[in-house]
Structure 1
Amino acid sequence: MESRRQYLVGLVGVISISGCLSTSSPSAEVTRIQLINKTEREHDFTVTLREDGQRVYQESFTVASEEGNRTAMITEIPSNRGRIEVEVAVAKEEVSSSIEYTEKECYDMIITYSQSGFDFYSNSSGDC
């Protein structure tokens, strides 16, 4: 069962793209991702970015569970604009989740992983 936060994050994503009749093509860009492990054990994560359905970035990270070492910072992301999907998966657990950005904005993301799954947070600005 999805948590209320996951439901609201998904709902915001659906609402943000619903009713868009604009003829301009999507031109979102993800500039930074912070991945935080809030569980009590180390996990291997794979982060994948797709631009208009084509994979443009994929990297795997081992993120510890102890304070001070539970974060992976991803800043070496190719500068691509379009419909951007960010997917994160936990190795050996068949757990994954994704979010899609289509607005003409630049996004800095925080992805947290806890016992209840993934949560996505982002800040956006018009300038990259």
Structure 2
Amino acid sequence: MGAWGTGIFENDDVQDWKEELLESEGFVFIEETLESVIEEEDYIEVDIASNAIGAMEVLAALQGKPGEELKNESSYVEGLNEWIETHKGHGKSLLPLAKKAIKKIKKDSELKELWEESENYKDWLKIIKDLKKRL
């Protein structure tokens, strides 16, 4: 059974992305994830958008501004807090890229459209707005 919820790490795509991050040194991987959104000229597919939002959450946490999922150590973020603690304070140079990517995802993406069609769109939008503010 797949995972799907309003939390940033509550879907299968970003869970797979998280596992790759934990096995990597991280910053090239995070940058490539964000670039995949920026380089997309047309429509941003759901997996690309989900992964980029996960990357943004990690970047915010690295700057000392984690979201609720990380603060509460939900099962979806298992292993991330340790990785973040190891790399704390790094990744600041990627924040402008993250801000461009979140704006693009919020404006026109399959992920946004899927949430708009659900009864939880306002909850998802609140999470995205909070993430944008923490970046």
TM-score, normalised relative to structure 1: 0.28
Report the structure number with the largest CA radius of gyration. 1
Q: Tell me which protein shows more helix as a share of its residues.
A: 2
In the superposition, the TM-score normalised over structure 2's length comes to: 0.27
More strand by share: 1
